[in-house]
Structure 1
Amino acid sequence: MAAGRSMEWVKGVKGVILDMCGVLYDSGEGGGQPIPGSVEAIERLMGSGLIVRFCTNETQNTREKFVQKLQRMGFNISVSHVFSPAPALLRILRERGLQPHLLVHDDLMAEFDGVEMTSPNCVVIGDAADRFSYQNLNEAFGVLIGLEKPILFSLGQGRYYKETDGLKLDVGGFMKALEYACDVQAEVVGKPSAEFFQSVLRDMDLQPHEVVMVGDDLVNDVGGAQRCGMRGVQVRTGKYRPSDEQHPSVKADAHMDDLAAAVDAILISDL
């Protein structure tokens, strides 16, 4: 069921951008599991004629391995339709001639094959999970504090995410620690960066007002999309918490029980 401003959010929709973890599936042991009804919802949405893209801050896997995991869950998703922070960051590093010091998950390292890192002039952090030790954070701090003009990239800025056994600390807290220690502001690559959302819109060849973003993160998914001129819908799955519906500054265009309910509303409006 929807709660929010009205059903105006479904009018004139030509494209849909979907968050993944917490919307399509919950991560966890064995790769995670689909949220009930989400596989079928994606099938219906992909067959509707609407333009569909997937936008994730996943940084514990390469995009290819991440998509393979979802395909094993039953999702019919292609790599070219998935936008994630690491490929976007690689473009930035090339354009600016930067050599990174990496504090990322071991399974993401393959994304950086061939990237020069011998004399790092920036630091990149992602959801490094167990690699967020004091030693590794202090090493990243040492690189930043030694630079005349420190540059810190963060692959997303989420506070937490949901796995099957509960909420887990995300990269945002570690990003804030380095920002504070080094008196630097991180450049966020991924949601809620306007540049990241705009790259998805360009690929869709649609205007912001024609697109709905569906996510479980009120601030980064919904708020980020709304600041770009899109409509933002929050599902009550994943990291959703009831207090989100009384957030002081971010108001979703609608709240839906899950992805299946959101897709129902979108497709009914498209008839």
Structure 2
Amino acid sequence: MSEWYQKPIEGVLLDITGVLKDGGPTGTISIEGSVEAVKRLKACAGLQVRFCTNETTITRKQLLAELTGFGFDVQESEIFSPIPAVCQILQNRGLRPHLLVANACMPDFADVDQTNPNCVVIADAESNFSYENLNKAFQLLMSLEKPVLFSLGKGKYYKHGTELVLDAGPFMKGLEYACDITAEVVGKPDKAFFNAVMQDMGLSPDQCVMVGDDIVGDVGGAQGAGMRGVQVRTGKYRSKDDSHPTVQADGRVDNLAQAVDYILTNRT
């Protein structure tokens, strides 16, 4: 079987947290070698790069400012995140959300009608995941004839500083169980999310590779959309991911810099 980088690659999708940046003792830091790795990808003629994240604790503009502050070559139009996507869905379907999200990301919902809610949107709400707030979301869903729950990603956990912390997935599962419903996932690992990125690049799945630290959300999600999924041994990676019961990465690398080495060496 050929290595993942030996087949033509025209599009590279990069996770952000755990691949480009991580939390440190004094705040967010870039992962060693990742800034230069992105520059090398961007400098390669004919190779398209997109940044795919389930980050919902800050706005997309704040995320862009953070990345460019580290020196990453990235444009806002290249960042694909769940909030703009769910806002478009809400508008298209005439839905008014009750938001269970982090305070810092609220500006991205400023143009969304939130009066008399008829659905719930849940994301990584951090400290807003209190019993009171979860119960309000539960009560609204139970009051609706046709309850609709959107979950911005469904990750189990992620790395914050030196610790693992709960993501939105466990809280989404709790509401699903309590209300006997199935959430509509917007973001990784949803196939529609990856398809939207490939459509933006004008590429087919066999031309694309996703590089991420999450074996299910990044690797499994990408593979579900027909592309290759490569896992970095940074961020939330754990050695047990190597023997995951349902997802096997097409390749593993120590970090983004090594992934870029493989991609660019094969192209030349």
TM more than 0.5: yes
Aligned to 2:9: 13
**1:25-58 CA deviation, whole Å, 9 max, x = no partner?**
1035665001111111011111112100000000
SS in 2 for 1:162: strand
* TM-score, length of structure 1 as denominator length: 0.96
Aligned to 1:58: 55
SS in 1 for 2:9: coil
Q: Distance in 2 between matches of 1:20 and 1:10?
A: 24
Q: Does 1:33 align with 2:24?
A: no
In the TM superposition, what is the alpha-carbon distance from 1:172 to its structure 2 partner? 0.3
Aligned to 2:124: 127
Aligned to 2:244: 247
Q: Does 1:167 align with 2:172?
A: no
Q: Which runs of 5+ in 2 are unaligned?
A: none
User: Paired residue for 2:75, among 72, 78, 92?
Assistant: 78
Q: What fraction of aligned residue pairs are identical, expressed as a percent?
A: 57
Aligned to 2:221: 224
Q: Does the 8 A contact of 2:4 with 2:251 survive in 1? A: no
* TM-score, length of structure 2 as denominator length: 0.97
Q: Does 1:114 align with 2:108?
A: no
Q: Does the 8 A contact of 2:122 with 2:151 survive in 1? A: yes
Q: Distance in 2 between matches of 1:35 and 1:230?
A: 25
Bigger relative contact order (CA 8 A; separation at least 6): 1
Count of residues paired in the alignment? 267
Amino acid at match of 1:246: S
SS in 2 for 1:72: helix
SS in 2 for 1:140: helix
Amino acid at match of 2:150: F
Q: Does the 8 A contact of 1:31 with 1:69 survive in 2? A: no
Residues 29 and 84 (structure 1), Cα distance of their counterparts in 2 relative to 1, 3 Å cut? farther
SS in 1 for 2:84: helix
Q: Does the 8 A contact of 2:6 with 2:266 survive in 1? A: yes
Amino acid at match of 2:43: G
